[in-house]
Amino acid sequence: MSLATVDALLAASCLHLGFQALVTGVVYPALADVPPERFPAAHAAHSRRITAVVAPVYALLAAACLAVLVAGPRSAPALASIAAAAVAAGTTALVAVPAHGRLGREGRSDDVLRRLRRADYVRCAAAILGSIGAVLSTS
C-alpha cells in the first residue's frame, strides 16, 4: 500500500468536496437568482471565473485517482472513491458543460438551470461519497 497515493486521494477528494459544496450551496443559487436581463453578463463572468478554479481541482483529483490505479492501494474504498470521482467528472462533461453552453448561447432558461442544478446535486453527492471512500481507504 502506498501511503502517498492514499494521502493524495484523500487530499484531492476533500478539495473536490469543498469546491463542490461551495458551488452547490452558494455559486449556483446565486447564479439562479440573477434576473434575465443581467443573466448573460453574469453567466459569462461565472464561466470565466469558475474555469480557473474547476480545472486545477479536477486535474488534481484525476492525478490522484490515476496514482491509486497505477500504484495502489486498489482497496474497495479507494476504488469507490475513484468511481465517485468518475461520476462527478462524467456528470460535468455530459450534463453541466452542455447546460452552461446553452445558457451562454441562449441566455437564462429555467429548464436549463434546473437541469444544471440537478446535475450539480449528483456531483455533490459523488464528491461526498468520494471523500468517504478516500477516508476509509486510509484506515
- pLDDT (tens digit, 9 = 90+) per residue, 42-81? 999 999 999 999 999 999 999 999 999 999 889 999 999 9
Which range of residues forms the domain containing residue 78? 3-137
- pLDDT (tens digit, 9 = 90+) per residue, 81-108? 999 999 999 999 999 999 999 999 999 9
pTM, two decimals, is 0.93
The count of structural domains within the chain is: 1
Report the pLDDT value the prediction gives residue 139, as an integer from 0 to 100: 79
Tell whether omega for the bond before 98 is within 30 degrees of 0, i.e. cis: no
